[in-house]
Amino acid sequence: MAISVKISKAMEASSWIRKMFEEGAALKKKKGEENVFDFTLGNPITEPPDAFKQRLRELASDKTPGTHAYMPNSGIPWVREKIAAYLSQQTGIDYTANYIVMTVGAAGALNVILKALMDPGDEILTFAPFFVEYRVYADNFNGTLKPVPTDEAFMPDFEALKASVTEKTKALIINSPHNPTGVVYSEETIKTLSETLQQVSQKIGHPIYLISDEPYRKIVFDNATVPYPSVYYKDTILITSHSKDLSLPGERIGYLAIHPKSTDAVALSVATNFTNRILGYVNAPALMQRIVAELQDEPADAVGYQRKRDLLYPALVSYGYECVKPMGAFYLFPKAPGGDDVAFINHLKKFDILAVPGSGFGAPGYFRIAYCVKESIIEKSLSGFKSAIESYS
């Protein structure tokens, strides 16, 4: 093999995911797209809001020169000023443009901050279950992701967190509202988390940065609120994207915000500008930067997603599925009946239902349902979910 041995092995390890997708594609081809209930991808069926479309039309006719040109690697200065002003108003923290880096989505932002923080062998913590890409991103910089257990409600186990910290710990990534469980951390949880991080940071002699990956912030239900971790813990890097709240996953636009009072804040600001360049992102797409700058206040379609949750969640529970009730995002993470997630996923296929095993999220014994699909798909899938659990021993 002429290609990278490391990449060959990584692809082999993830080949079962590809196999699943291929089987799904084959099933769709056989039965017709509309007759397969595909809950595998967090790819919103929801279209971007009218405000996005209007702004895109305006900018498409804008004749200002230089709008598609290079810019500072951190992004267009006026765009970063707008983002900073929005975050300052939301949090009461004095963000300035200097501490904002526009990025190629939240994925870009995570890589940019991890490259700026990590040396080989460094450790990044996250609570399990976790978004599968975190592991790959830590590995990109020759470090490791160390999952920390949570309780039955997927809430942080603070003693386990303390026990997981070593001198190599550089950061903890949290994600609330959470993929794949849909849980939202309360203010109390964030406060305890903040205190715990302060304690352990002091103990190891350097700060553990809190990377708050929050693309689902605006997608919450039943009037839940999502506290800003940066209000409670100054060594916080806020990361978001507009893939979910504005339904723009294909456009790769997001940002990171460094708390202006965080340790080495200025060095981090310079470093993230630098890593955005050297990782080959160079800068976030210019046109999308200019669009989202004006849409920070735009609400997400939380009502629409709540309706979908309310179609699916009570039905599944009534059929006998055990599941924590999601308060945000657009995922359900039930226990796999029988305990073997891969086996149950294969069983679900018999009912034309596609979902993802929890093993991929560091949580074997569970499976993920991404319900960012049409309501009609959810409705038509219900009898299959019912038959699947009834017929499964």
State the minimum distance, in angstroms, from the CB of residue 206 to a second copy: 5
Taking the least distance from each CB to a second copy, the nearer of 68 and 223 is: 68
Taking the least distance from each CB to a second copy, the nearer of 107 and 316 is: 107
Q: Which of residues 82-141 bind a second copy (CB under 8 A)?
A: 104-105, 107-108, 110-111, 115-120, 133, 136-137, 140
Residue 14 binding a second copy, by CB under 8 A: yes
316 token code pair: 């599944």
Q: Which of residues 36-75 bind a second copy (CB under 8 A)?
A: 41, 43-45, 47-48, 53, 56-57, 59-61, 65-71
Alpha-carbon gap, residue 12 to 156, rounded angstroms:
32
Task: Pick from 19, 78, 282, 320 the residue near a second copy by CB under 8 A.
Answer: 282
Residue 261 binding a second copy, by CB under 8 A: no
Q: Which of 134, 149, 104, 124 is nearest to 250 (CA)?
A: 104
Task: Pick from 89, 166, 199, 263 the residue near a second copy by CB under 8 A.
Answer: 263
Sequence-distant (6+) residues with CB within 8 A of 18 are: none
Task: Pick from 189, 196, 212, 247 the residue near a second copy by CB under 8 A.
Answer: 247
Taking the least distance from each CB to a second copy, the nearer of 184 and 268 is: 268
Residue 285 binding a second copy, by CB under 8 A: yes
Q: Which of residues 144-203 bind a second copy (CB under 8 A)?
A: none
Taking the least distance from each CB to a second copy, the nearer of 189 and 241 is: 241
Taking the least distance from each CB to a second copy, the nearer of 56 and 377 is: 56
Q: Which of residues 305-364 bind a second copy (CB under 8 A)?
A: none
Q: Which of residues 365-384 bind a second copy (CB under 8 A)?
A: none
Site stretch for a second copy (CB under 8 A), options 281-289, 295-303, 305-313, 328-336: 281-289
Residue 280 binding a second copy, by CB under 8 A: yes
Residue 5 binding a second copy, by CB under 8 A: yes
Residue 13 binding a second copy, by CB under 8 A: no
Residue 210 binding a second copy, by CB under 8 A: no
State the minimum distance, in angstroms, from the CB of residue 265 to a second copy: 10
